[in-house]
Amino acid sequence: MSKYTAPQRIPSKRRSLSHRTLIVLAAGFLVPALLLAIASTPVNAAPSNNPIFATIQDVRNAINAALAPIQNAIADLQTQQANQATQISNLQNSTSKQFKVYDANGQELGILISHTVPTVGVTTVYSTALNRFMFLELEPDSIDGIFYNNVTTFYHSTDCTGTKYAIADDVNRNNTYDDLMPASPSAYYVIPDSETPATVSLNSEEYWYAALNKLVCIGAIRGDTQVYQLQQVGLPFSVPLAAPLHFKYQ
């Protein structure tokens, strides 16, 4: 069967920088700045041909070379965030025809982003109702047999009760900030658009165990951790979805 690929979601390793990351970057800039200030103090520099002592310009060149990868990484992250925002805006505001995704019962799920051969790949759908990406895979281990990216939720409590969190490093590394996060067949979460990372000591975690068809809670002491608070949402369609998926150009 031929492979259809709609305009691809632009991958990004990190959508937002955690507070801890910002502090590390700030320190990375502060130390070179202090070195530059020291280097600017008038001194009698050694001759440029002296093999032992570096000149002030040599120090400046070394600092610039050390800063270059950090500056390039920050610029790359900013570009990826801008591209992601542009893609979402285009999907929300587009009036042209697009491939729409439906389940076998005719429920509209959203706009098709990418689709591979059925039963062996993941179909990426953008839900205009949720303003989130969804990943569908017809596999028994998936939640409801179709949701691919189930999320592990974390708690300050020791028994998986109370506020649910997602670890910020996991969210940023897996590029899931704008994704629907299924936790069980009856619980689906998102990270609110206005949410910023908080520091919480974690003591338990919960995940969907497909073999037992249930949520499992285990102890998981992590100490102070950067997390996003999760918000539960209702789906704009009924689950479980009926396979196979259908696509219409509308």
pLDDT of residue 155: 98
Give buried/exposed letters for 155-194 (b at 16+ CB in 10 A, else e): beeeebeeebbbbbbebbeebbbbbbbbbbeebbbbbeee
What's the pLDDT band for 12 if we cut at 50, 70, 90?
A: very low
> For residue 43, what pLDDT is reported?
46
- Position with higher pLDDT, 56 vs 170: 170
For residue 203 the two structure tokens come to 């003591």
What are 150's two structure tokens? Answer: 């189930």
Full residue range of the structural domain in which residue 60 is found: 19-93
The token pair that represents 113 in the structure block: 């982003």
Residues of the chain with pLDDT > 90, as a percent, come to 39
Rounded mean pLDDT, 50-73: 71
Please tell me the predicted confidence (pLDDT) of residue 59: 75
> Is residue 24 pLDDT above 50, yes or no?
no
Q: Is the pTM of this model over 0.75?
A: no
Q: Is residue 69 part of a domain?
A: yes
Backbone angles phi, psi at 88, to 5 degrees: -65, -40
Length of the chain: 250
Q: What are phi and psi of 149, to 5 degrees?
A: -95, 65
- Average pLDDT of the chain is 77
- Strands 181-184 and 187-190 turn out to be antiparallel
Among 73-82, 85-94, 131-140, 214-223, where is mean pLDDT lowest? 85-94
The DSSP bridge partners found for residue 218 are: 205
Q: Dihedral angle at the C-alpha atoms of 234, 235, 241, 247, nearest 10 degrees? A: 180
pLDDT (average), residues 128-155: 82
Number of domains in the chain: 1
How many angstroms separate the CA atoms of 43 and 123, rounded?
64
The mean per-residue pLDDT over the stretch 220-237 comes to 95
Mean pLDDT to the nearest integer, 76-102: 69
Structure tokens, 193: 């658009």
In a domain, 75, yes or no: yes
pLDDT category, 171, cuts 50, 70, 90? very high
pLDDT at 20: 47
For residue 244, count other CB atoms closer than 10 A to its CB.
Answer: 10
HSE of 66 in the Cβ direction (CA atoms, 13 Å)?
15
DSSP state of 46: P
Is 161 within the bounds of a domain?
no
Q: Is residue 24 part of a domain?
A: yes
Mean pLDDT score, 221-231:
95
Chain centroid to Cα 69, Å, comes to: 22
pLDDT band of 116, cuts 50, 70, 90: confident
At residue 15 the predicted structure's pLDDT band, cuts being 50, 70 and 90, is very low
Quick check: 39 pLDDT over 90?
Answer: no
pLDDT higher than 90, residue 54? no
Mean pLDDT of 205-218: 91
